[in-house]
Amino acid sequence: MTLSCILQPSILDKTFLSLSAYNSTMTAIDLTRLEKQIEALLLLADDPRAFQAEFHDILGFYHRYSHRKHKDSLPKSFMRQYDLPEKVLPSLQNRLKRIQPELILPLARQLWQDDYFEAKDTAVTMLGFLPPDHNEEVLEQILQWLDEPLDRAIIESIFTRGIKTLSQNDPQLWQDEVNKLLLSERTQRRKMGLLALAKIIPDCQSDSLPAYFSWMRPFLISPDQSLDNNMKPVVAALAERSNQETAYLLREILTDSNDIEVGRRFRHYLEFFEGDSYERLLDAIKKQVILPRTKID
């Protein structure tokens, strides 16, 4: 029913309509104004510190100070962040494509030093705007960032938007680097390698799967549990691509391992399988030969 159809609204109706109009005004974005603010930001592209300050001025302008999120909702990031209308940050980030390539890295490095999610996320997104002739620089920068303790949402940004141009134009370079991460002696790098591999698998060529199975085997058979949370999304991605082959790999590992922890780990993977693959994997877990641990005097 439209307002023109309401001939004699009650006082309650008038109050409700008034509040609705007030709330919509408070959440509405003046796109013309936002566009002018972004234009002013772009003029500071050759001054990273001034750019960072203006970036925060814009987001602070649109921050919803009185907006309350649902108390049970899981935040996208656990970093400090603004409460913004949905269109603000994507609109701003998309316009940063206009910045000259030679200015992007200094700006990204400046924003990366920030403790706000939006700043770091924008730094990562800007790397994805660089043309293919900057792939080596992008890779070097990403590897430096991956060595730091990272928020889960920033990791997601790196492996989706940050490597966008790199993975599209030189997928072999990125694949080789992921393999190096997996082979690293540093736990942090192996963790990042596993998360990166989980992002590669869904869109990879089928003939790449045997290599990925081979990369994962040492992790799956290892009694070390420190990487279990990082392995799970990789197994999920492999099972999504090839349920039977992934189940076969896990069954094969169970025949080669007598460590009870490996079987326990694989029980957490059962949710990724169905039908015959599920039944045969479950049976292999139950039948795994467990040898008693030897005590060291």
Residues 120-149 have pLDDT tens digits of: 999 999 999 999 999 999 999 999 999 999
pLDDT tens-digit series, residues 204-246: 999 999 999 999 999 999 988 999 999 999 999 999 999 999 9
Model pLDDT for residues 39-79, shown as the tens digit of each residue: 999 999 999 999 999 999 999 999 998 766 655 555 778 89
Residue 104, pLDDT above cutoff 70: yes
Overall average pLDDT of the 85-96 stretch: 96
Q: Please give the pLDDT value at position 66.
A: 73
Over 50: is that where the pLDDT of 105 sits?
Answer: yes
Q: Is 89 a residue whose pLDDT tops 50?
A: yes
How confident is the model at residue 168, as a pLDDT?
93
- 3-state SS, one letter per residue, for the chain: CCHHHCCCCCHHHHHHHHHHHHHHHHHCCCHHHHHHHHHHHHCCCCCHHHHHHHHHHHHHHHCCCCCCCCCCCCCCCCCECCCCCCCHHHHHHHHHHHCCHHHHHHHHHHHHCCCEHHHHHHHHHHHCCCCHHHHHHHHHHHHHHHCCCCCHHHHHHHHHHHCHHHHHHCHHHHHHHHHHHHHCCCHHHHHHHHHHHHHHHHHCCHHHHHHHHHHHHHHHHCCCCCCHHHHHHHHHHHHHHCHHHHHHHHHHHHHHCCCHHHHHHHHCCHHHCCHHHHHHHHHHHHCCCCCCCCCCC
pLDDT for the residue numbered 289: 84
Q: What's residue 70's pLDDT?
A: 53
Q: What is the mean pLDDT of residues 88-103?
A: 97
Average pLDDT of the chain? 89
What percentage of residues in the chain have a pLDDT greater than 70? 86
* 272-284: pLDDT as tens digits: 999 999 999 999 9
pTM: 0.84
